[in-house]
Structure 1
Amino acid sequence: MQGKPRPARTVLGPYELGERLGLGGMAEVFVAYRAGPHGFAKKVALKRILPELAQDSRFVAMFCDEARISAPLCHPNIVQVIDFGESQGELFMAMEYVEGVSLAKLLRYVSGRRERFPLGAALFIAHEVLTGLSFAHDACDENNNPLHIVHRDVSPGNVLIGRAGDVKLADFGIVRSAYVDRRTYPGELKGKVGYMSPEQVMGIEVDPRSDLFTVGIILSEMLIARPLFSGQNEFDILTKIYEADLSALDKYGTDLAPPVLDVLRQALAKAPADRFDSARSFAAALRRLAQSSQITLDDSELVPWLSALGVLPSRSGTHEVTRLPSTLGPTAPPPAPSPRPVLRPTTAAPPPLSRNSVPAAPMPGLPFRRALVRPELPALVFAISLNADTGELHVEGTHGELRLAFEDGKLVAPHGSGAEMLLRGLFAFGDGMLTFTASRSEHPVHMQRISILPVVSRIVRERFTVNEIAAWLAPIRRLPLNRGTSLRRDPSEFGLSLGERRAIEQAPHKRSLDELGGALASAGMAEPAEVMRGVFLGLSLGLLNAPGWAWTQGS
């Protein structure tokens, strides 16, 4: 849905309305802002009943039902309702704003390019939708009585994909639940044509397995890049759904692996009893399918692919994708020019190394204040730890700030899990300013001093994609990698995998990163992803060097 100009009335309750995001049969959704003292502002998606329906008691009741059902559904895969109110007789609902793209838009874009979703991305999206559905289907009231929620409108337009790879299910506007009065008349259809179950088409009672059928439709369409049920008119489409006619899957899914087709056919069985018995079991089947296909079921394939397509709203910090070295795995389209800070070699000689083998010159002296550059962050945190620095690291970003206290290179935190949470918070920043103030403070006796080296390596492994790392290392892929000055430490302190350690150990013996990747892959010593991460971590730790290499902000 194209954005519309602001309406004549720009304020609704405490919210100032912005661009219209979407228009449905019952309501419209706007970008909205709630202002507060001292410059505070919260961006939300604000939904209100269409003016022509505002006096219809049935639609008003449905709108209130949606708010009451959605409010307690607090789950990472469900769009959160954060406010519900009335202003001068007009009801509104404020929801979590998801900065990203709808699956409907993504499907249109991909099919228009005559392409398909990567299997890993499609499985991940479907899995996350099922995870949110499982939570909703199993939800209970405050007395632990099941709510028996059925979404009934699981369609691409109601699946939102954030720029960080988060997948969220939206719009419980036509939900069926024991929590609300029945609002569907006998024989009345509830749902979007093309995204209904056979029992919805027949207008009979539905249960959670109806939602599983529509997830099967969505997953099929991601994999064949065309509508699963199509026809010359709505009657033709509804007839095909009623008959569970999978001729489109038979025709356009011939290159899908048999296990994939088996999962789709079970989800799309005409009889509910022949489908998966729950969203949880459907999600488990996708995990088994991913494992058998050697796919990691996370956002590691989705986010770089979205960035390469160019469908995400422009904002600093977006993942960039470039071609991987030919010997290290598959390629991706090169990124468009961007002002985003990148890593590039310098023309000067490599800088001297500090006593702990961390590149000394590229890392700031203490204290410092500098722009946060995402690929530099591991090297900076490693340097604080290995140099046994004491002080406070403060990051100020677009969406908040975070402070981390270090004592002799160790993070001060109440316990190990608290330290990991702080570090994950640090690496969640995509932009901002970093300030390190060298000082020694007194901390409560219950606070611990925790080594962060293995935690940072693990976060790099989880949050930095192979495509990102390949882009950052591209300038040195054909250059020799040299050994840094010796670290008299146990390698296990760094939390490196065996493949990453082998990449660091073998790198000085090869003429280039390309040669290193090819040699380790052919010998079965390391996977391509481990080679890329190993070299990146080696450079970040100062265990490796390359001619002219430095951490620097490019333009």
Structure 2
Amino acid sequence: MGNSSHAVPPRLGPYELIERLATGGMAEVYLARRAGPRGFQKLCAVKRILPQLARDPDFVAMFVDEARVCANLSHPNIVQVFDFGEQDEELYMAMEYVDGTTGARLIRAAAARGEELPLEVSLHVALSILRGLEYAHAARDRKGRPLNLVHRDVSPGNVLIDRSGAVKLTDFGIARASDFERRTDQGQLKGKLGYMSPEQVTGRELDARSDLFTVGIVLAELVTLRPLFSGGRELDVLLRIRDADLGPIDRAGSLLPDDVKSVLLRALARDKLLRYSNAAVFAEAIEEIIRRRRLQVGPARLSAWIERLGLIDGPDVSSDNEPSRPGTAILEPDDVVRNDPRGDGSYDSGGSYEVAPQIYRVDLGDGTASQPMSYPRVIELFATGAIGSRSLVARESGRFKPALHYKEFSRFVTSPALRWDDDADGAEKSMLDRATLPAYLFQLALERETGALVFRNEEKQKKIFLVEGAPEFVASTDRRELLGEHLVATGQVLRMEVEMALAMLPKFGGRLGDALVGLGVLRPIELFRAIHDQTQMRYMDVLGWPDASISFTRGARSHEETFPLGVDPFELIARGIREGYTVSELVQLLAPIEDDVLERVPNPPVRIEVLRLPERESYILRKVDGTSSVRALIGQMTNLKIADADDVMRAVFVGLSCEMLRSIRWTALHPDSGIRRSGASKVRLGR
């Protein structure tokens, strides 16, 4: 089975597994052989759920749905699924084996050689896709009811071309049908980055015209050999699709004949009402071009071109030797993302990205190695600080090498934000003091400091990168605070969707959020909101730490892509006090001054409104007049039934921490807690 130490069953049902062809985020596909009496043999492709997802009920349901819908489809331009079975509680699907290449590889090979594909070749591919979709969109179940099928994943990687030139559409794994409930909720975003319709990007209801838009993308890329929607950032790509930005078509010049351009502009209309009404009408428009130009269109011409480009190298499975088949096309995991790594609109002619291998081992530093583990598990170890940049890792059955050797780990061993095994030079260090912690954070915000604030205790670590006093990026070794865990815990994604995205991290620069958007699990706005909430929660969480060492390195930056939060750090400090300090703790902290007179600072550095306190706490701060103590305030507020003792305690502590209130004895006990300095460099945390 290639170079994999991955445990592969020799058989699934009646199928002998010969070689693993490809691994995607959710499933893997094998070249298989079914033998029969008197020497009968037939090659096929067998698809099975990845072992780590095989017991996930949501993914199992999706796999079953795919089998159900494909069982109703039989057309020359659609890959046939002819068997579905279960062995040892493991589901598998047997399908037609296409010995050839894919549309994605065809485009890349032509671009690499600087050769334009003949127009008749491009039109033949698009026409074949449309005929398959025409059939699928009109498909009915066995009772004659319309399936209302929408493929939702038409892309060059899912266009298979066999050596004879026949074109077949595959991978209905995320197709939408009217009787599917588990994965077709309105607003869900599914599909490959760069091959979605505007309504897919914005989460609106889809119909067959969404597939026509993506066929338009495929045709444009076949003709121009350049990505239609390209860009360095996934969010930018999605925004271009949302707006149907067809600038590349306008700039294509002679690469796009006027009649082809006219067809594309209609297929790629932002408003689906302006597109072709169905696949048959779109196909007729292409056939009209073929007739008018008197083009010779058919599989023979396409077959000659894929052979000319070196895309055919068929397997020899007559012996026990493992075949080598760079031209085989079944599943195209390397097309899950745009092949535009440079962000300059060009295809990656040097080859596709690799999906992260499934199995790794980690040197534990005591002469022993870990048990084999998946890529997501290794990433979790890096993210939580269990292993670091100096750790040795072995991929599959290879030798142990420094983690930096593997490009799939590069972000986690080079990013200042994600490395946990180094101490920055010149950092100011101290021990956490619960009484002065909020005041310290307030000073950093007030002085608009930029730098890295690191909290460490025996259980976890946290890095807060401030830019002009506001948190820009927060990293944590607490597994519960990882982005994937946060999204699962809040019900925004499924566990198996996180696993799928983690498996594809190398394609997305090691960024889980980008992977989730690129794979269609989250919309950009959903990712923005999730990171926005998570960053705030991670920041406020430190106000609940009972003990820690603290260091601050001025000028340090995360070097991570970040979203502007647009939240005032003073508000976060006040919220953090409310969530991180118990009433009993506040009683203990304020006990030494409970009978001291409190004064309101005449010209506080920030207005009370900036803190966005609950109305009762704001009222309490405004009622401090220089004659009342904490004890007296509690009596006044409770007698008037305006607030209770808890409200008074929180309001007073916020006021002292944010330089709105002052007390002589509080300042004496905690000299760093309520006095504004001329520069944050003079702030000292701890006593």
TM-score by length of 1: 0.55
Which residue does the alignment assign to 2:100? 100
Q: Does the CA-based 8 Å contact 2:187-2:205 persist in structure 1? A: no
Q: Does the CA-based 8 Å contact 2:77-2:169 persist in structure 1? A: yes
Which residue does the alignment assign to 1:288? 288
Which residue type is aligned with residue 21 of structure 1?
L
Equivalent residues in 2 for 1:152-231, closer than 5 Å: 152-185=152-185, 187-231=187-231
Q: State the Cα distance separating 1:8 from its structure 2 match.
A: 3.6
Q: Does the CA-based 8 Å contact 1:4-1:21 persist in structure 2? A: no
Which residue does the alignment assign to 1:255? 255
Which residue type is aligned with residue 244 of structure 2?
A
Equivalent residues in 2 for 1:355-434, closer than 5 Å: none
- Tell me how far apart the structure 1 counterparts of residues 107 and 6 of structure 2 sit (CA, whole Å): 28
TM-score by length of 2: 0.45
Which residue does the alignment assign to 1:449? none
In the TM superposition, what whole-angstrom CA distance separates every residue of 1:422-459 from its partner, at most 9, and x where no partner exists? xxxxxxxxxxxxxxxxxxxxxxxxxxxxxxxxxxxxxx
Which residue does the alignment assign to 1:57? 57
- Tell me how far apart the structure 1 counterparts of residues 208 and 68 of structure 2 sit (CA, whole Å): 19
- The answer as to 2:25 corresponding to 1:25 is yes
- Tell me how far apart the structure 1 counterparts of residues 208 and 253 of structure 2 sit (CA, whole Å): 26
Q: Secondary structure at the match of 1:301?
A: helix
Shift of the 3–201 alpha-carbon distance from structure 1 to 2, 3 Å rule, reads farther
Q: Tell me, which stretches of 5 or more residues in structure 2 are unaligned?
A: 317-687
Which residue type is aligned with residue 231 of structure 2?
G
Q: Secondary structure at the match of 2:291?
A: helix
Structure number, greater radius of gyration: 2
- The answer as to 2:90 corresponding to 1:90 is yes
Q: State the Cα distance separating 1:140 from its structure 2 match.
A: 1.1
Q: State the Cα distance separating 1:251 from its structure 2 match.
A: 1.5
Q: Tell me, which stretches of 5 or more residues in structure 1 are unaligned?
A: 317-555
Q: State the Cα distance separating 1:180 from its structure 2 match.
A: 2.0
- Tell me how far apart the structure 2 counterparts of residues 200 and 3 of structure 1 sit (CA, whole Å): 38
Shift of the 297–13 alpha-carbon distance from structure 1 to 2, 3 Å rule, reads same
Shift of the 314–86 alpha-carbon distance from structure 1 to 2, 3 Å rule, reads closer
Equivalent residues in 2 for 1:360-509, closer than 5 Å: none
Q: Does the CA-based 8 Å contact 1:224-1:253 persist in structure 2? A: no
- Tell me how far apart the structure 2 counterparts of residues 254 and 79 of structure 1 sit (CA, whole Å): 34
- Tell me how far apart the structure 2 counterparts of residues 75 and 4 of structure 1 sit (CA, whole Å): 35
Q: State the Cα distance separating 1:185 from its structure 2 match.
A: 4.9
Which residue type is aligned with residue 57 of structure 1?
P
Give the percent of matched residue pairs that are identical in Structure 1 and Structure 2. Answer: 52
Which residue does the alignment assign to 1:149? 149
- The answer as to 2:238 corresponding to 1:238 is yes
- The answer as to 2:121 corresponding to 1:124 is no
Which residue type is aligned with residue 123 of structure 2?
L
Which residue type is aligned with residue 76 of structure 1?
P
- Tell me how far apart the structure 1 counterparts of residues 165 and 241 of structure 2 sit (CA, whole Å): 31
Which residue type is aligned with residue 9 of structure 1?
P
Q: State the Cα distance separating 1:313 from its structure 2 match.
A: 2.0
Which residue does the alignment assign to 1:458? none
Equivalent residues in 2 for 1:316-355, closer than 5 Å: none
- Tell me how far apart the structure 1 counterparts of residues 102 and 3 of structure 2 sit (CA, whole Å): 14
Which residue does the alignment assign to 1:48? 48
Q: Does the CA-based 8 Å contact 2:100-2:314 persist in structure 1? A: no
Q: Does the CA-based 8 Å contact 2:78-2:132 persist in structure 1? A: yes
Which residue type is aligned with residue 52 of structure 2?
E
Shift of the 204–4 alpha-carbon distance from structure 1 to 2, 3 Å rule, reads farther
Which residue type is aligned with residue 216 of structure 2?
G
Q: Does the CA-based 8 Å contact 2:201-2:242 persist in structure 1? A: yes
Shift of the 264–55 alpha-carbon distance from structure 1 to 2, 3 Å rule, reads same
Q: Does the CA-based 8 Å contact 1:5-1:20 persist in structure 2? A: no
Q: State the Cα distance separating 1:184 from its structure 2 match.
A: 3.8
- Tell me how far apart the structure 2 counterparts of residues 267 and 29 of structure 1 sit (CA, whole Å): 33
Q: State the Cα distance separating 1:83 from its structure 2 match.
A: 0.5
Shift of the 174–82 alpha-carbon distance from structure 1 to 2, 3 Å rule, reads same
In the TM superposition, what whole-angstrom CA distance separates every residue of 1:348-398 from its partner, at most 9, and x where no partner exists? xxxxxxxxxxxxxxxxxxxxxxxxxxxxxxxxxxxxxxxxxxxxxxxxxxx
Q: State the Cα distance separating 1:264 from its structure 2 match.
A: 0.7
Which residue does the alignment assign to 1:465? none
Q: State the Cα distance separating 1:314 from its structure 2 match.
A: 4.1
Q: Secondary structure at the match of 1:139?
A: coil
Which residue does the alignment assign to 1:112? 112
Q: State the Cα distance separating 1:156 from its structure 2 match.
A: 0.9
Count of residues in correspondence between the two structures: 315
Q: Does the CA-based 8 Å contact 1:101-1:312 persist in structure 2? A: yes
Q: Does the CA-based 8 Å contact 1:163-1:303 persist in structure 2? A: yes
